[in-house]
Amino acid sequence: MHPIDPGTDLTETCIEGVSVYRGNLLHVRRDRVRLPDGTESTREYIVHPGAVAMVALLDDGRVVMERQYRYPLGGDLLELPAGKIDPGEEPLVTAKRELLEETGYVASSWALLTTMEPLAAYSSERIHIYLARGLERRVRQLDDGEFLEVFAEPLSALLEGVRSGRITDAKTQIGLFWAEKVLAGDWTGRPA
Amino acid sequence: MHPIDPGTDLTETCIEGVSVYRGNLLHVRRDRVRLPDGTESTREYIVHPGAVAMVALLDDGRVVMERQYRYPLGGDLLELPAGKIDPGEEPLVTAKRELLEETGYVASSWALLTTMEPLAAYSSERIHIYLARGLERRVRQLDDGEFLEVFAEPLSALLEGVRSGRITDAKTQIGLFWAEKVLAGDWTGRPA
């Protein structure tokens, strides 16, 4: 039992650390840390450069979506377009690049909805979720080895998909909930 | 460019695989896979047993929350109570166990809100999010080396925290959005 008073400093400080795995996609670190009570523990986590996801809203009210096979889960997921930030890249630049590459759309209006952490326990990843409007069709430029189906559905149908369990991806649920708030005029995104 | 027709099978099949890291917390695999066009690629990912998170609603309308230092992100996060599923454990059993251990509450009514995937690109983790009502205070039983502050705020204040950027954790944003829908009577959880 560690009863914690409100406002207590819970910071864990690094004593020493090492990269335990560096693959094509994943970089795993293991650090020895000092806990708030002075004892030691170990933290293992993915080092990640961050990512973006885009709620791209067509003029007819439909949202651009992707169907993609997700190997770790063994099945297809319906997801917002998304991608990893390149070293030194501004997240908004990533968002514009990935939206064009994956879906073939450019957008004239961008707003940041939220920046969220998908898995705080073992990843340093942060995902910036944008609302993109004023879409125009260009040519899609998928990376080699990237297979995904692009489709579009009204926001209301996608929210019904969240309710029914058809849409389970975390960044997608969050982006759709946020888009509903913003389009209802209850919340506003930040100009990006 | 791989234009995909609607409904095309995007399944990637395992050719061979190996555990590349097995630590105290993380288990990392690397598999060689066959892509839909017959070529080969590599998939690296975390193998995870799944987790639960709980929107625990007090009779006065406040939701039980935790403040916890998240080492991979280098700061405190405000989160719903949550925990990892033990081998062979039913998710609802995990939810009851973790709510008691971390916050000291037991609940008389449980509903499953959603099952979501926080990071489909590189983790097999699924998180089951429950709504717990009819709370009664017992004694908290934190694990050694677990430091967290428990507090409670009205759902409306927590949703305002999502809007303002004070609450950024993915499972927490999703759980709060879902709770708002269910408490408004628009959506219903599934009895658990």
pTM, to two decimals: 0.97
Type of residue numbered B117: E
Q: What is the pLDDT of residue B156?
A: 98
Q: How far is CA A34 from CA B68, B105, B141, in A?
A: 15, 29, 22
The answer to whether residue B5 neighbours chain A at the CB level (below 8 Å) is yes
B118 and A170 within 8 Å at the Cβ level: the answer is: yes
- Is residue B36 a contact partner of residue B13, using CB atoms and an 8 Å limit? no
Angle between helices A170-183 and B170-183 (to 10 degrees): 50
The answer to whether residue B164 neighbours chain A at the CB level (below 8 Å) is no
A114 and B168 within 8 Å at the Cβ level: the answer is: yes
The three-point CA angle B169-B170-B171 to 5° equals 100
DSSP state of B72: G
The answer to whether residue A25 neighbours chain B at the CB level (below 8 Å) is yes
Band of the pLDDT at B1, cuts 50, 70, 90? very low
Band of the pLDDT at B88, cuts 50, 70, 90? very high
In the numeric block, which tokens belong to residue B185?
């009577």
| Residue B104: closest CA among A2, A5, A6 | A2
Nearest chain B residue to A75, by CA: B11
Of A26, A124, A170, Cβ closest to residue B122:
A26
Q: How far is CA A86 from CA A51, A98, B41, B52, in A?
A: 9, 11, 21, 32
The answer to whether residue A143 neighbours chain B at the CB level (below 8 Å) is no
Residue B94, phi-psi category: left (phi > 0), alpha (psi -120 to 50), beta (remainder): alpha
Angle between helices A155-164 and A170-183 (to 10 degrees): 130
Band of the pLDDT at B5, cuts 50, 70, 90? confident
Q: What is the mean pLDDT of residues A179-190?
A: 97
Type of residue numbered B76: D
Q: A23-73: per-residue pLDDT in tens?
A: 999 999 999 999 999 999 999 999 999 999 999 999 999 999 999 999 999
**Exposed, middle or buried: residue A13 (CB in 10 Å: 0-12, 13-18, 19+)?**
exposed
What span, in angstroms and rounded, lies between the C-alpha atoms of B28 and A20? 11
**pLDDT beyond 80 at A76:** yes
The answer to whether residue B18 neighbours chain A at the CB level (below 8 Å) is no
Of A35, A174, A187, Cβ closest to residue B147:
A35
Of A11, A43, A119, Cβ closest to residue B118:
A119
- Is residue B28 a contact partner of residue B20, using CB atoms and an 8 Å limit? yes
A4 and B140 within 8 Å at the Cβ level: the answer is: no
The answer to whether residue B119 neighbours chain A at the CB level (below 8 Å) is yes
Please state which CATH class domain A51-191 belongs to: alpha beta
Q: What is the pLDDT of residue A5?
A: 80
SS3 A169: strand
Q: What is the pLDDT of residue B3?
A: 59
In the numeric block, which tokens belong to residue A98?
């990935």
The superfamily CATH assigns to domain B51-185 is: Nucleoside Triphosphate Pyrophosphohydrolase (3.90.79.10)
Q: A111-148: per-residue pLDDT in tens?
A: 999 999 999 999 999 999 999 999 999 988 877 778 99
